With several copies, the nearest count.
Chain A
């Protein structure tokens, strides 16, 4: 996972690496909530970021190669939090944008993106990025 240390990507404020298992979702949500609270997001926005991060990680975990590591990064800025997560996968297809989960994700975050990159190793890397603004859109 050396590419995360390259100059191309600035060091994230917080990076978490966990084995890609549902059991770990809770710890990632805890960090999301802590960062949003300290960045002075209101209660709805904190709750939305927590759900969006859960949604993104759940999608990645369900498509991860067994035993591989999910890497999550949070970049906290005064007006927004950028969250990015990735995992090794066997499929070259990104998650369907028609799924229930994806629709929930786009409702919660101000912007969302997902794509697959083909690396040198045996596996592809599936990535989800999202941005939640402190005073961003309010779902519904």
Chain B
């Protein structure tokens, strides 16, 4: 089965207001699924000031995924978009920590923590 439609990932974007987009990733981020993540984040990054990448429901993160996260961080810096990750599980935390990438990102344990509080 080589059909690309049958992959183990879902990536959805939700616009909170004119400035903020939340991208929610569900499933496994690997060499097979990483193109879909890259494409969605590229599209959304072009039209926001603040991007929240919610990885709470990610069940695998390998170096293909870590490389995309590094790309996204560079893109955010050069476009002056504020970027943060939502990640609490061992599955996501551990690869970020092992590679030292955890220090390069702003990471919140829950989506609520990542969103600006409305007064």
Contact = CB atoms under 8 A, between A and B. Distances in A.
Interface of A: 13, 19, 21-23, 25-26, 29, 35, 37-40, 43-44, 47-48, 50-51, 54-55, 58, 61-62, 75-78, 100-101, 103-104, 107-108, 139-140
A140 B98 contact: yes
Interface stretch (B11-19, B43-51, B87-95, B106-114): B87-95
B99 interface: yes
The 3 lowest CB-CB distance pairs between A and B, nearest first, are A76-B1, A22-B32, A22-B31
Given A44-B94, A78-B6, 9 more contacts: A23-B6, A29-B30, A29-B60, A39-B1, A44-B90, A58-B30, A104-B63, A104-B98, A139-B97
B63 A25 contact: no
Interface of B: 1-8, 28, 30-32, 60, 62-64, 66-67, 90-91, 94-95, 97-100
B64 to A, nearest CB: 6
A21 B7 contact: no
Among A22, A29, A104, chain B packs the most CB atoms within 10 A around the CB of: A22
B98 A139 contact: yes
A52 B90 CA distance: 15
B99 A61 contact: no
A23 B98 contact: no
Contacts of B3: 23, 78
Given A22-B31, A22-B32, A51 B6 contact: no
A133 to B, nearest CB: 14
Contacts of A38: 6-8
Nearest to A46: B90
A26 B94 CA distance: 18
A106 to B, nearest CB: 11
A43 B32 contact: no
A58 B60 contact: no
Contacts of A50: 60
A77 B30 contact: no
Contact of A58 (B4, B6, B62): B62
Nearest to B5: A78
13 contacts: A22-B32, A23-B6, A25-B30, A26-B28, A29-B60, A38-B8, A39-B6, A44-B94, A51-B63, A54-B60, A54-B62, A77-B1, A140-B100
